[in-house]
Amino acid sequence: MKNEKVEIKEGINFHEITTNKFKTNLFAIFLTLPLTRENVTKNALLTAVLRRGTKNLPSQEEISKTLEEMYGAGFDCGIEKSGDYHTIKFYLEVINDQFLPVQENISKKGMELLFSIAFNPYVEKNAFKEEYVAQEKENLKQIIEGKIDNKASYAQERCIEEMYENKPYGLYKYGYIEDLQNITAQNLYEHYLEVIQNCKIDIFASGEFQEKMQNIVENNAEIEKLNPRKINLEIKDKKEEKQEPKIITDNMEVTQGKLVIGYDVISNKENLSYIAMVCNTILGVGANSKLFQNVREKASLAYTCGSSYIKRKQTVFIKAGIEIQNYEKALEIIKQQVEDMKQGKFENEDIESAKNLIYATIYNIEEEQDTEISYYFGQELAKQNVSIEEYKKKIEEVSKEQIIEVANQMKLNTIYFLRD
């Protein structure tokens, strides 16, 4: 496997991942821009409208028919929150050319179709089609309203919202219902033009190719129309230790309480993310973790209990599903597990077990094309160039002393509890 990056124009990069592991080739376009309250809903709606039609294929039915003619090619798009940034993602998967019944450059066709969806949408009188915008506004409204249905993810979103109040990361990636009424087919198209001319653009191709994909990208008419752009994706909020943690309780009709606790990792240590990853895995990932063993198994206080580390925000979230009356006891034992990490109350076997879990995740990166693309896109956003082998080596080098040091830089920020 080989990963190469080429700057097509300033702010527009092409990444080619050459691999013979798959019978398909996967293409992706990522449009990344600052996450703001003014535009978060427009970005989410824009993602849905763009998939509805292109200049030459003005309906979803025609796009689907074209995909079917390309031996059942697959297309998908979505939106993600990447730290303080919003990323609109487009994917198109085709059969590797060497497996086609007749000689045909299906990869080139696939890449060109993806470009047309992202960069040459269907427009009527300098606006998106009214019908498409109206339908997608209603769909988006249902998505936003539906976030309350999954209580665990809702609690996580609420904790993030409170922890990052008035900051980009605190925004919900699908936006807000109250913003939808002011979005029109015309101002959404105007927003699209602004996005296309200013966002960071990353184009990915993964697989084996008959011809040099870089040439196809550079010579594409849609790419030629794009202007260079200066990109500066820096984390805007500075981590500062809070004097007192924020404690939030929401009431809702629930049979099980949802507890989410947010910790800031306040450190500028070199290789922090790798050390924090091992630290977090010992704390709350898998059946051998301290949280699972002590909160769920020994104390029987939680149906689920674990933690996750958000690298781009240097944040650890601990999540537990508990009986509502067990709140105080569960909180006490969870805090004790963090304190034990700070005091080094874990064994070398715990470190090895955690590292093995992470190695399994690392090995899986190359087993799925979209995961591989996501990994290298993450490297791009972090302004790093760490290969998968280097990633494994950095995990291997993490020591107990480093884990204790980073654990002591975990500072409690927010406690959120969803109860009846």
Torsion of CA 315, 321, 327, 329, to 10 degrees: -90
68, two tokens:
């079917």
- Going by C-alpha positions, the residue among 75, 72, 71 that lies closest to residue 60 is 75
- Going by C-alpha positions, the residue among 141, 157, 177 that lies closest to residue 250 is 157
Are 362 and 286 a contacting pair, CB within 8 Å?
no
Give the span between the Cα atoms of 44 and 262, in whole angstroms.
26
pLDDT higher than 90, residue 275? yes
Domains and CATH numbers, the chain: 2-225 (3.30.830.10), 246-419 (3.30.830.10)
Are 180 and 40 a contacting pair, CB within 8 Å?
no
CA-based end-to-end distance of the chain: 52
Predicted local distance difference test score (pLDDT) of residue 406 = 97
Whole-model pTM: value is 0.94
Give the span between the Cα atoms of 111 and 209, in whole angstroms.
12
Are 114 and 27 a contacting pair, CB within 8 Å?
yes
Predicted local distance difference test score (pLDDT) of residue 2 = 82
- Going by C-alpha positions, the residue among 333, 308, 328, 335 that lies closest to residue 319 is 308
- Going by C-alpha positions, the residue among 301, 380, 378 that lies closest to residue 335 is 301
Are 19 and 30 a contacting pair, CB within 8 Å?
no
Are 266 and 409 a contacting pair, CB within 8 Å?
yes
For the stretch 55-79, pLDDT in tens is 999 999 999 999 999 999 999 999 9
pLDDT higher than 80, residue 243? no
For the stretch 331-388, pLDDT in tens is 999 999 999 999 999 999 999 999 999 999 999 999 999 999 999 999 999 888 899 9
- Going by C-alpha positions, the residue among 92, 119, 98, 112 that lies closest to residue 373 is 92
Percent of the chain with pLDDT over 70: 98
Q: Which residue has the higher pLDDT, 154 or 233?
A: 154
Is residue 202 classed as helix, strand or coil in its secondary structure?
A: strand
R_g (Cα) of the chain, nearest Å: 23
Predicted local distance difference test score (pLDDT) of residue 235 = 59
Predicted local distance difference test score (pLDDT) of residue 237 = 63
Output the CA–CA distances (angstroms, integers) from residue 315 to 33, 276, 346, 366, in the order listed: 22, 9, 21, 26
For the stretch 169-178, pLDDT in tens is 999 999 999 9
For the stretch 278-330, pLDDT in tens is 999 999 999 999 999 999 999 998 888 999 999 999 999 999 999 999 999 99
Predicted local distance difference test score (pLDDT) of residue 233 = 77
In the block, residue with structure tokens 């399994």: 360
